[in-house]
Structure 1
Amino acid sequence: MQSGVREPWLLTTARHAVLLLFVAVSLWPVMDVISISLRPGDRLRSTEWQLIPENATLDSYRQLFTEQPFLRWMGNSLLVSLAVTATGVAVAAIGGYAFSRFRFAGRQAMMISILTTQMFPATMLLLPLYLMIAKLGLVNTFLGLGVFYVSTALPFCVWQMKGFYDTIPPALEEAARIDGCTRWQSFTKVILPLATPGLVITALFSFMSAWSEYLVAAQVLQDSDMFTLPLGLKSFQASMSTQWGLYAAASLLVSLPVVMVFLVLSKHLVSGLTVGGVKE
């Protein structure tokens, strides 16, 4: 459409109507969970749907903090997720730079191997990784769980950072080297600041892969005091009944850190996802 020519109002209205429909479909499950968390008892369904139900109560939220070890679960999840994020960002930043800037024997084979691992689900690695950490005596430890998460998140993170470094002209480093910087100084002072969007994507992916993961944590962690949030939420579900109020309230609280991270890092997300997707 030519610039300066306004599109018909009917087309604009239809476009907004479709967007509002998708927004409503996306928000409906969230509003349903909010309603369940406010219902007295453990009622999953009611005859009439209301966002704020009759006799609404905050007992589920109160029980989470007073009768359940919710804060301990959240602390465990934060510890594991932040450690995985820091490790993933550090290793991916250096590994991606090596693949982007250096030519060495086996480079192409290693890159293909990294890309190939993304074709298989992480559950396929569950048995060999579990045997490995069992031999190292890391079962039922946060370190063993972190090894799982870092090893499954790193392939994507390294490939993402490699693609982002490819978009940064090597001439910038050469100019820094001429000015007296070492290779490490040119990397940390010139390249890393320019690679901030890529680092943000790497950090977000690493955090998400650890924050909401359940299957691996259920196999590695056996002590209830070490449960992360997904394991803690699963404890609300029994064979004969489920504490739906606690389940819904905890689900909302678990999602808040992720939403906050997205909001804080949103300005870097688009450029980080698009600029890094270049062909070598």
Structure 2
Amino acid sequence: QGKLDNLLNSSSSNLNPNSSNLPGILIGKELAKNLGLLYLDEVTIISPLGESTPLGMVPRMKKFQVVGIFESGMYEYDTKWTYISIPSAQRFFQLGNVITGIEVKVANAYEAHHIAEKIKNRLGIAYQVIDWMEMNKNLFSALRLEKIVMFIILILIVLVAAFGIISILIMVVMEKTADIAILKTMGAHARSIMGIFMIDGLFIGIIGTLLGTIGGLLLGWNIQGVAEWVEKVFGINVFPPDIYYIDKIPYQVKVEDITAIIIITITISFLATIFPSWQASRLDPAEALRYE
């Protein structure tokens, strides 16, 4: 049992017929668990391509021996994929010496598209070349849409926080009515009063943004540990592998995304200070001190 790449390298010879005269098969960890299979167990494979006999179509069946159990880290693969040697597959599917496809592993996964284009140009139109991004095009489209939706939700959360800043500043203006009136009677300009409250609100926005950014980064860097803690304490599977196809939570911190979020958040916080600051600057000193 181990990682897929290690097993494919170490067990390649075992995939060929061994002492038990059965061809070997590598099977995913979750699939082996569901079928109750262990190392060196025998398993029967049934092909949807049957054989024509006088009694009708008979399913093509063959026994294999489990020579390895792999864990790829992708739930979709670990529950559905198995590997057998090319000669065994050719005999089982009666392909002769034909190979239906070749999978190329590249050093840099993000260069797969360019490499696929080079292979396509060299082989010509007689062969179909598909890279992993094109094979999972629907998944990536869904992820892009999800990212846009999450960004919109984030903006809405910031707007709610902005209304909180507005409420706080309005309450401060109401509490400091007498102080504002005294400042105005001493010669303070409306612009100065407005500036005081704008700086106050902007300071609240900057502190909140910095604390939120630091908290978000700490949570992102420790997301796997947090998820495991939640699962252990509350018994809740935060990221079910049968839905998200992964056994660990990946994360990537992008400086440009963090910068954009900080700028947008501080800008909205600044705009939120305008109305209560303007309200404070329009305060009539005589009316404010009338009942003091």
TM-score normalised by structure 1 residue count: 0.27
- Which structure shows the higher helix fraction? 1
**Which structure carries more relative contact order (alpha carbon 8 Å, separation 6+)?**
1
Structure number having the greater strand percentage? 2
Larger Rg: 2
TM value normalised by structure 2: 0.26
